[in-house]
Amino acid sequence: MKTYLAPVNDIEKKWYVVDAEDKILGRLAAEIASRLRGKHKPTFSTFIDNGDFIIVTNADKIRLTGNKWEDKKYYHHTGYMGGIKEANAKKLMEVHPTELVITAVKGMLPKNRLGRAQLKKLKVYAGTAHPHEAQQPVVLDI
Protein backbone atom coordinates (compact mmCIF):
# COMPACT_ATOMS: atom_id res chain seq x y z
CA MET A 1 0.00 0.00 0.00
CA LYS A 2 1.37 3.40 -0.98
CA THR A 3 1.33 6.50 1.17
CA TYR A 4 -0.95 9.25 -0.13
CA LEU A 5 0.99 12.30 -1.25
CA ALA A 6 -1.02 15.49 -1.72
CA PRO A 7 -0.05 17.40 -4.87
CA VAL A 8 1.57 20.73 -4.08
CA ASN A 9 -0.97 22.62 -6.22
CA ASP A 10 -3.92 21.13 -4.31
CA ILE A 11 -2.73 22.19 -0.85
CA GLU A 12 -5.11 24.78 0.57
CA LYS A 13 -3.48 27.24 2.95
CA LYS A 14 -5.88 29.21 5.13
CA TRP A 15 -5.27 32.30 7.24
CA TYR A 16 -6.03 32.34 10.97
CA VAL A 17 -5.91 35.08 13.61
CA VAL A 18 -4.92 34.18 17.17
CA ASP A 19 -5.39 36.60 20.06
CA ALA A 20 -2.48 36.04 22.47
CA GLU A 21 -3.89 38.14 25.30
CA ASP A 22 -3.58 36.27 28.64
CA LYS A 23 -2.36 33.09 26.91
CA ILE A 24 0.59 31.12 28.29
CA LEU A 25 3.55 31.39 25.93
CA GLY A 26 4.59 27.74 25.62
CA ARG A 27 1.10 26.33 25.20
CA LEU A 28 0.26 28.94 22.57
CA ALA A 29 3.54 28.38 20.71
CA ALA A 30 3.01 24.60 20.61
CA GLU A 31 -0.41 24.96 19.00
CA ILE A 32 0.86 27.59 16.53
CA ALA A 33 3.83 25.41 15.52
CA SER A 34 1.50 22.46 14.94
CA ARG A 35 -0.74 24.60 12.70
CA LEU A 36 2.23 26.03 10.78
CA ARG A 37 3.47 22.50 10.03
CA GLY A 38 0.00 21.28 9.00
CA LYS A 39 -0.22 18.47 11.55
CA HIS A 40 -3.95 19.13 11.99
CA LYS A 41 -4.66 18.16 8.37
CA PRO A 42 -5.21 14.61 7.12
CA THR A 43 -2.74 15.28 4.28
CA PHE A 44 0.16 15.96 6.68
CA SER A 45 3.57 14.89 5.49
CA THR A 46 6.85 15.62 7.22
CA PHE A 47 8.61 16.84 4.09
CA ILE A 48 5.90 19.07 2.55
CA ASP A 49 4.89 22.52 3.73
CA ASN A 50 1.11 22.19 3.87
CA GLY A 51 0.44 24.27 7.00
CA ASP A 52 -1.62 27.44 7.35
CA PHE A 53 -0.76 31.10 7.85
CA ILE A 54 -1.06 32.31 11.46
CA ILE A 55 -1.46 35.94 12.53
CA VAL A 56 -0.80 36.54 16.24
CA THR A 57 -2.13 39.76 17.77
CA ASN A 58 -1.60 41.22 21.26
CA ALA A 59 1.79 39.53 21.59
CA ASP A 60 2.71 42.15 24.18
CA LYS A 61 0.04 40.78 26.56
CA ILE A 62 1.34 37.19 26.70
CA ARG A 63 1.75 35.41 30.05
CA LEU A 64 4.64 33.46 31.53
CA THR A 65 4.22 31.28 34.60
CA GLY A 66 6.37 31.23 37.72
CA ASN A 67 9.47 33.44 37.83
CA LYS A 68 10.17 33.15 34.10
CA TRP A 69 9.94 36.91 33.55
CA GLU A 70 13.15 37.24 35.58
CA ASP A 71 14.78 33.80 35.24
CA LYS A 72 14.30 32.93 31.53
CA LYS A 73 17.32 34.06 29.51
CA TYR A 74 17.55 34.80 25.80
CA TYR A 75 20.93 34.95 24.08
CA HIS A 76 22.14 36.38 20.80
CA HIS A 77 25.57 36.98 19.31
CA THR A 78 26.63 40.23 17.65
CA GLY A 79 29.14 38.53 15.36
CA TYR A 80 32.15 40.09 17.07
CA MET A 81 34.52 38.26 19.39
CA GLY A 82 33.07 38.09 22.89
CA GLY A 83 29.85 39.55 21.56
CA ILE A 84 27.34 37.27 23.26
CA LYS A 85 24.44 39.23 24.71
CA GLU A 86 21.95 38.10 27.33
CA ALA A 87 18.52 39.45 28.23
CA ASN A 88 15.78 38.11 30.46
CA ALA A 89 12.21 37.77 29.23
CA LYS A 90 11.05 41.01 30.86
CA LYS A 91 13.73 43.10 29.19
CA LEU A 92 13.18 41.41 25.82
CA MET A 93 9.45 42.14 26.08
CA GLU A 94 10.16 45.83 26.65
CA VAL A 95 12.49 46.09 23.66
CA HIS A 96 10.94 43.61 21.18
CA PRO A 97 7.46 42.47 22.31
CA THR A 98 7.01 40.08 19.37
CA GLU A 99 10.31 38.22 19.78
CA LEU A 100 9.09 36.04 22.66
CA VAL A 101 6.43 34.43 20.48
CA ILE A 102 8.65 34.13 17.41
CA THR A 103 11.51 32.54 19.36
CA ALA A 104 9.21 30.06 21.11
CA VAL A 105 7.59 28.94 17.84
CA LYS A 106 10.92 28.82 16.01
CA GLY A 107 12.28 26.38 18.59
CA MET A 108 9.36 24.02 17.93
CA LEU A 109 9.80 23.88 14.14
CA PRO A 110 12.27 21.70 12.20
CA LYS A 111 15.83 23.03 12.02
CA ASN A 112 16.15 22.98 8.21
CA ARG A 113 14.98 24.94 5.16
CA LEU A 114 11.45 23.59 5.54
CA GLY A 115 11.26 24.96 9.09
CA ARG A 116 12.50 28.35 7.90
CA ALA A 117 9.82 28.39 5.19
CA GLN A 118 7.15 27.48 7.74
CA LEU A 119 8.30 30.26 10.10
CA LYS A 120 7.74 32.81 7.32
CA LYS A 121 4.03 32.00 7.51
CA LEU A 122 3.91 33.35 11.08
CA LYS A 123 2.99 37.03 11.43
CA VAL A 124 3.24 38.50 14.95
CA TYR A 125 2.01 41.94 16.02
CA ALA A 126 2.17 43.67 19.41
CA GLY A 127 -1.22 45.39 19.12
CA THR A 128 -4.63 44.35 17.87
CA ALA A 129 -4.23 45.79 14.36
CA HIS A 130 -2.68 43.84 11.48
CA PRO A 131 -2.39 44.54 7.73
CA HIS A 132 -3.77 41.17 6.57
CA GLU A 133 -7.49 41.93 6.33
CA ALA A 134 -7.45 41.27 2.57
CA GLN A 135 -6.73 37.58 3.22
CA GLN A 136 -9.99 37.32 5.25
CA PRO A 137 -8.44 35.49 8.22
CA VAL A 138 -10.63 33.33 10.45
CA VAL A 139 -10.44 33.68 14.22
CA LEU A 140 -8.76 30.62 15.75
CA ASP A 141 -9.61 29.98 19.39
CA ILE A 142 -6.70 28.36 21.23
CATH number where 108 lies: 3.90.1180.10
Residue type, 72: K
Is residue 103 in a domain? yes
Q: How many independent structural domains does the chain possess?
A: 1
pLDDT band, very low/low/confident/very high, at 96 (cuts 50, 70, 90): very high
User: Is the Cβ–Cβ distance between 119 and 103 less than 8 Å?
Assistant: no
How far, in Å, are 51, 84, 86, 108, 131 from residue 25 at the CA level?
20, 25, 20, 12, 23
Is residue 73 in a domain? no
Is residue 88 in a domain? no
- Tell if the pTM clears 0.85, that is, is over it: yes
Is residue 84 in a domain? no
Could you tell me the residue range of the domain that residue 120 belongs to? 14-63+96-139
pLDDT band, very low/low/confident/very high, at 5 (cuts 50, 70, 90): confident
Q: What is the chain's length? A: 142
Q: Report how far residue 124's alpha carbon sits from residue 134's, in angstroms, rounded to the nearest whole number.
A: 17
pLDDT band, very low/low/confident/very high, at 8 (cuts 50, 70, 90): confident
Percent of the chain with pLDDT over 70: 100
Predicted pLDDT of residue 9: 85
Is residue 72 in a domain? no
User: Is the Cβ–Cβ distance between 25 and 89 less than 8 Å?
Assistant: no
pLDDT band, very low/low/confident/very high, at 117 (cuts 50, 70, 90): very high
| pLDDT 10s digits, 18-34 | 999 999 999 999 999 99
Average pLDDT of the residues in 83-90: 97
Is residue 69 in a domain? no
Is residue 39 in a domain? yes
Is residue 41 in a domain? yes
